[in-house]
Amino acid sequence: MRKKLQLGTLLLLAVGLVLLPKLSPFFIVFVATEILILGLFATSFNLMFGYCGLLSFGHGAFFGTGAYVAGLLLQHLQWDFFWVLAVAPLAAALVATLIGCLCVRLNEVYFSMLTLAFGMMIFAIAHQWRSVTGGSDGLAGFPLTRVGLGLDLVLANPFHFYYLTLVIVGLSLAAIYTLTISPFGLILRAMRENSERVAFAGIPANRYRLYGFILSGLFSGLAGALFAAFSRVAVPEMAHWTQSAEPILMTILGGSQFFFGPLAGAAVFLGLKTLITSYTSEWMIYLGIILLGMVLFLPKGIFGLFERWLGGRT
């Protein structure tokens, strides 16, 4: 019965998202696109946090790499967007492999600090390497190419972009979900609970963590590439630790122990920000107060509220 409820909810949500552009004011399409992209970023971050128990403070490195590679490919080579979306995440995965090799050996707060350090190194490269990355201004004004694959979509059209994002994010979330319920995902979860035991069972814990890290980096890079096309820019701040803090915030808000928690957190966070800035330019204090309230009164995040009905804990 619960399964039917979950499936039903999912279907309803999917229908709602597909119909969104027809039903909502024009600007909401932009907000929804941003929520989907950052929701993907947060969900892939949560692969490490919720499932492995490792809080990465440097995921902006992968997000930023995805954004810059996408920007560079569009600016210099004008590839079809489909190929950009194929290659940029791979670049991010490569960076994740290099960083991951060094980070997964560490635990807890040390892992967090080392990922922060590496994230900031990527930021520094983006900021200082003026000739390639455009320095502090980043990349801007790159063309939005055709999508390719014979699809007649114009990326500059917000509706087309929204639907493209919806499909890509949907497929990515499905892929990540499949991972989490696979034996691989179970091992990750086991490591969160007791990594010594996992090692005793003969499983090379660090190697699995690394795989998780690389996959997490891959999807974060995909989100970054989408974001670059959406925002029309790739800037160093996308690799800064303050950017890395956003998926963390969204995940905790939504509930790290639920698969859709990060996405819900992204919706709430961005929705709140959009709402607050409509009324006042003093958004920081109001956002802070609301976050404070959520921390004090919503211990398991938004999803925790509905835990009973939805089940589906990781």
- Of residues 183-212, which lie at the interface with other proteins (CB under 8 A)? none
Which one of 116, 190, 191, 214 is in contact with other proteins (CB under 8 A)? 116
Closest approach, Cβ 185 to other proteins, in A, equals: 21
Q: Binding to other proteins by residue 219, rule CB under 8 A?
A: no
Residue with tokens 């980043």: 138
Report the residue number, 95 or 252, with the smaller CB distance to other proteins. 252
Interface stretch with other proteins, choices 85-93, 173-181, 218-226, 279-287 (CB under 8 A): 279-287
Instruction: Report the residue from 8, 77, 200, 311 that binds other proteins according to the rule CB under 8 A.
Output: 8
CA–CA gap between residue 253 and residue 298 (Å, rounded): 8
Interaction residues for other proteins, span 280-299 (CB under 8 A) = 281-285, 287-289, 291-292, 295-296, 299
Q: Which of 227, 229, 255, 262 binds other proteins (CB under 8 A)?
A: 227
Should residue 110 be labelled a site residue for other proteins when binding is judged by CB under 8 A? yes
- The one among 248, 255, 259, 262 contacting other proteins by CB under 8 A: 248
| Closer Cβ to other proteins, 193 or 281, answer by number | 281
Q: What is the total count of residues that contact other proteins (CB under 8 A)? A: 83
Q: Kindly write out the interface string for residues 125-144 of this chain, putting x where it contacts other proteins by CB under 8 A and - elsewhere.
A: x-xx-x----xxxx-xx---
Which residues from 32-91 bind other proteins, rule CB under 8 A? 34, 49, 55
Among 89-97, 120-128, 145-153, 170-178, which window interacts with other proteins (CB under 8 A)?
Answer: 120-128
Interaction between residue 245 and other proteins (CB under 8 A): yes
Q: How near is the Cβ of 301 to other proteins at its closest, in Å? A: 10
Strands 139-140 and 233-234, bridge-based pairing: antiparallel
Contact 227, 169 (CB under 8 A): no
